[in-house]
Structure 1
């Protein structure tokens, strides 16, 4: 994968699933941003995919 493709996929996931996420909004209201963020990282399948794409992005070498 190249850098632009990975960034587009990340943007697409965030726009499709994370913006307006009911679970994230409720956890944020009940337990704060930390609880919501923790859920997104460890309990959400979209969060797992974002972590994978982040690792792929870190592997991509940038042009000098």
Structure 2
């Protein structure tokens, strides 16, 4: 976790070394996880959000 009370998480992919910060934010559809570059996933489906995040960190250009 990053910070003290903010809903922020720093993650990295162990094989690629790519990393990002994930923010949790309320939306009109409930809570969303947001990460760079342009990724998002529903907090109601954390498994799908984690899979999308993993894909982004495996294939990110950089």
TM-score for the superposition, normalised by structure 2: 0.31
TM-score for the superposition, normalised by structure 1: 0.31
- The structure with the greater share of residues assigned to strand is 2
Greater relative CO (CA pairs within 8 A, separation 6+): 1
Larger radius of gyration: 1
